[in-house]
Chain A
Amino acid sequence: MSFQILLNVFLAFLLMFLTSNYTPSGFVIGYILGLISIIVLRNFFKSRLYITRVWAVIKLIILFIKELILANISVLLLVLKPKLQMQPAFFKYDTQLKSDWEITLLSNLITLTPGTVVVHVSDDSKSLFIHVIDSNDIDETIDSIKNSFEKAILEVSRS
């Protein structure tokens, strides 16, 4: 992926030197043409196109904003309830993510969506310990994390 970005920048400079157009606009034109040529030659690269990964990152950001708004509304409803019927609890969540940045990103996403807080990462980095505000729907919480955030992060890191 990083090789493709480097190649794309190199192609942009190549077009700048060919057309003697040493301006930012010349760089942008060269970058777009380089992107088109890289898409044409997509089968010769070992990893997938980096533009799909950029798209996955954008999708992850949109998903995060959506979840943040929804979860905050649900916590607002919890706060405004006259009777508190919630049962806080800790549970262990086994993750399939490997590298440091993936675990950090997942933990921050879980913490920033209200109702759940990551309190600890196990020593082998295979499971997160999460505090949940209402233990009546733990399975639902696990499913929602697995199907939304973890899937999106895996989509980004898939080579």
Chain B
Amino acid sequence: MKVNNVILQFTTKIVFFIIFFFAVHIFFAGHYTPGGGFVGGLVTASAIVLLLVAFDLKTVRSLLPINYIYMVAIGLLIALGTAAIAMFLDEPFFTHFFDYFYLPLFGKTSLHTAALFDFGVYLVVVGVTMTIIQTIGEDE
């Protein structure tokens, strides 16, 4: 039996943007305030799960044609690579570097390699969460 889910689907289309933007904000806020890669990844995964609840697995697959297992692998590679940069510069493993750069639009910003490591964590968290949920979901 097919139910008319007009209200849920339309609300999802709006709320998805808000959740995704909040996830990006929480990811970049992780250095000085609560937040970071893990929480940002979970919030992003929850936005995709909301899409899964409102629509179905096939629709979300066509919207986001991502193999989440590759996503986990790429995230691990980024995290490891960021940690390994220091080894080529005669520093101990996991030494982070930061400096101040003048970017267009942002002005004076401090860029830190910990953000790259956090991005790897983010990708791993999104990939693992979505792999678990999709594997359970397509069980027929």
Contacts and interface: CB of A to CB of B under 8 A. Distances in A.
Interface of A: 100-101, 103-104, 107-108, 118, 120-123, 125
DSSP class of B's interface residues: helix, strand, loop or mixed? helix
Interface residues of B, number: 8
Contacts of A125: 4, 6
B2 A104 contact: no
A103 B2 CA distance: 19
Contacts of A103: 6-7, 10
A64 to B, nearest CB: 17
24 contacts: A100-B6, A100-B9, A100-B10, A101-B10, A103-B6, A103-B7, A103-B10, A104-B6, A104-B7, A104-B10, A104-B11, A107-B7, A108-B7, A118-B7, A120-B4, A121-B4, A121-B6, A121-B7, A122-B4, A123-B2, A123-B3, A123-B4, A125-B4, A125-B6
Contacts of B9: 100
A13 B9 CA distance: 37
Contacts of B3: 123
Nearest to A111: B7
Contacts of B4: 120-123, 125
Contacts of A118: 7
A156 B39 CA distance: 39
Given A108-B7, A121-B6, A125-B4, 11 more contacts: A100-B9, A101-B10, A103-B7, A103-B10, A104-B7, A104-B10, A118-B7, A121-B7, A122-B4, A123-B2, A123-B3
Nearest to A101: B10
Contacts of A101: 10
Nearest to B2: A123
B7 to A, nearest CB: 5
A100 B5 CA distance: 10
Interface string B39-83: 000000000000000000000000000000000000000000000
Nearest to A104: B10
A125 B7 CA distance: 10
A107 B10 CA distance: 12
A100 to B, nearest CB: 5
Interface in B1-32: 2-4, 6-7, 9-11
